[in-house]
Structures are given as structure tokens and as C-alpha cells.
Chain A
Amino acid sequence: GESVGLHLPTLSVQEGDNSIINCAYSNSASDYFIWYKQESGKGPQFIIDIRSNMDKRQGQRVTVLLNKTVKHLSLQIAATQPGDSAVYFCAENPSSGTYKYIFGTGTRLKVLA
């Protein structure tokens, strides 16, 4: 909800520019990664996912990049719009067959008009 983003790192981007949000994950055996968007007062919403046998995946206006060497995940949003303002966080599946994800704490994206 509204208070979730109070202590988060914030990325401020001009409307129309591209945004890059980063995530360092913890487990080198993780095989599946997801980006979620959470708007104020709402539950997290799936944006895009990527499996460990890929290093890039594109969706509509979004691209996820996976660098397994340094355990780094990034979300790129093209032509950022005011509706993209939200908290974004990544999740990793530590290994195939497990039920539980490990979630990052998130980054708040603010789009400036």
C-alpha cells in the first residue's frame, strides 16, 4: 500500500525517457525470475519473467536482462509513462521444484511530467 515505498530506493525519470531498474539476486542456482509492479494500495502485478537458460526477454515496452555471472537482473521500461509510477521488485525461484520465491525489497519509480 502507500507505506510500502517509504524506505525504498527511488528512481526518478522524465516522462518519455527509458527506465532501468536493477536487482541483485542471491542464489546462483535460481532458475526462474520475475518482475512485479505494485501500485499504491494494490497487490503486486506480474510484468515479465525469464528463465535461467535465457539472458534477455522482451515484452510490450519492457525488457528483462539476466546476467548470471554477476547474479544481476534488470528491467528496462521504454518510453516511461505516468502510469508506470509504482514500486517494482524482482523475485527469484531458488531451484526447480521449490514452491517459494525470494523477493527483493523493491525500487520506487517516479515518473516526472
Chain B
Amino acid sequence: DVKVTQSSRYLVKRTGEKVFLECVQDMDHENMFWYRQDPGLGLRLIYFSYDVKMKEKGDIPEGYSVSREKKERFSLILESASTNQTSMYLCASKLMNTEAFFGQGTRLTVV
């Protein structure tokens, strides 16, 4: 069974903290993605990576960075968390022209 695993289901962080969200996939997929999901806005792409150490900005990269040191792991970093980054964060992985597999999501609250 294919698996995309996010390190936390729920996180509460303080404004200004550095936050790491981790994602691991076991399907040997080249492509990995970080999305955020907010009511009424659907999934918005933050960053994606098509290979180890490669990354590209998505539609809303401001305030975020990513790291992909190994093929199976893609990390999202909030350099200085702010309350407007309170959201559901979803990691996904896929091959080219196939369906994306999603993790279970991390609900982040910044207080």
C-alpha cells in the first residue's frame, strides 16, 4: 500500500517560532508537493520538488522554504510563523502524469 506520511497531525506554535513540517513517501516518486488548504480556497501550492535538492516555488511561497535532501523526504519550513499561516498543510507525491498521493495532513495553529 502506498504511503505518504506527515510527521504530525496537529501542531500549535507561537508567533515567530521556526516550524518544520516533515513528509516521507515510500513510493520512490520524483515529485513531491506542499499545499495548504483553507476554507473556500481549495488547495494552494506552496512549493514543489521534482528531484533531490531541486525545488520550485508554487503559487504562495512567501513565508515558507523547503528542503529535499533525500528522495523520500520533503520538508516545509516556516521561518517565522505568523497567525495567517494557521492552516491545514498537505504533502503529496506523484510520478509524472499520474495521480498524486496525499498525506493525512497537518493542522497547524499559530497563536
**Chain B residues bordering chain A, tally (CB within 8 A):** 26
Given A32-B97, A44-B90, A99-B31, the answer on whether A7 and B102 have CB atoms closer than 8 Å is: no
In the assembled complex, the Cα of A110 lies from the Cα of B43 at a distance in Å of 21
Looking at the assembled complex, report how far the CB atom of B111 sits from the nearest CB atom of chain A, in whole angstroms.
16
Q: Are B50 and A99 in contact (CB under 8 A)?
A: yes
Chain B residues contacting A7 (CB-CB under 8 Å) are: 39-40
The DSSP consensus for interface residues of chain A is loop
Q: Mostly helix, strand, loop or mixed at chain B's interface? A: strand
Min Cβ gap B7→A in Å is 14
Q: How far is the CA of A69 from the CA of B43 in the complex (A)?
A: 26
* Chain A window 89-110, contacts with chain B (Cβ cutoff 8 Å), 1 for yes, 0 for no: 1010100110111011110000
Interfacial residues, chain B to chain A (CB-CB below 8 A): 4, 31, 33, 37, 39-43, 45, 48, 50, 56, 58, 88, 90, 96-97, 99-105, 107
* A contact set with B: CB distance below 8 Å: 1, 3-8, 31-32, 34, 36, 41-46, 49, 89, 91, 93, 96-97, 99-101, 103-106
